[in-house]
Amino acid sequence: MLRRRLALNLIVASLALIATLQSAEVPRAGFDHVEVAPAKTSLYLGSATLTLPAFSRHGGHYTSFYAAKVFPYFFYNETGHLQIEISDEALQRLAQGEPIDFQGRAERADGAPRRVSGRATPLDPHSGKIKVRVTYSPRIELIFNTTYRFAPPQTTDAAPPEPTPATPLPANPLTAPPAATTSPP
């Protein structure tokens, strides 16, 4: 009887431990920064390029700045900041290979709002494809297809890489001062 009770308690404790480990939060160190490759989409007789520096995670949000360049309609170029909402559960699903949908908002430098939505499809636990939809106006939606990569965690104990010796450039004979010559006495 005592053995059965002890075995039952051991099984219950094991199941509780497994459930805790499965619902554990995503390791934050590997998901704090994400890099998104520049993306380009076609417009009527032109194109738009979206450039984003690395996103940083704060709470359940990734934030970054953006620059959109529209060719040949340069007067539509804009810059601003962007915030994407991705929960810890969604990051866990992404790390397990499941695609996720996300929402966010962008704000142009002059304060004009933009709605952002998209879908991230992982290729491996640290990178994948991403489709970003930016609503410019009620009638205009720009769709960018690009890739993402979670930046590797920064280690502080690693020594910086040794600098490589720079190869000096040859002197330009047209601009270099004449070499001093000495004549024997």
pLDDT tens, residue by residue, 49-74: 999 999 999 888 999 999 999 999 99
pLDDT tens, residue by residue, 86-124: 998 998 899 899 999 999 999 999 999 999 999 999 998
- Reference 59, options 36, 28, 37; nearest CA is 28
Judge whether residue 44 has pLDDT over 70. yes
What pLDDT, on the 0 to 100 scale, is given for residue 11?
A: 52
- What are the backbone angles phi and psi of residue 112, rounded to the nearest 5°? -70, 130
Exposure of 70 in the CB half-sphere (CA atoms within 13 A): 12
* Helix, strand, or coil (residue 17): helix
Model pTM above 0.85: no
Structural domains in the chain, CATH included, are: 26-150 (2.40.160)
Q: Rounded to an integer, what distance in angstroms lies between the CA atom of residue 26 and that of residue 75?
A: 42
pLDDT tens, residue by residue, 156-177: 555 555 544 544 444 444 444 5
Q: Rounded to an integer, what distance in angstroms lies between the CA atom of residue 158 and that of residue 162?
A: 12
DSSP code for 42: E
Q: Rounded to an integer, what distance in angstroms lies between the CA atom of residue 43 and that of residue 158?
A: 46
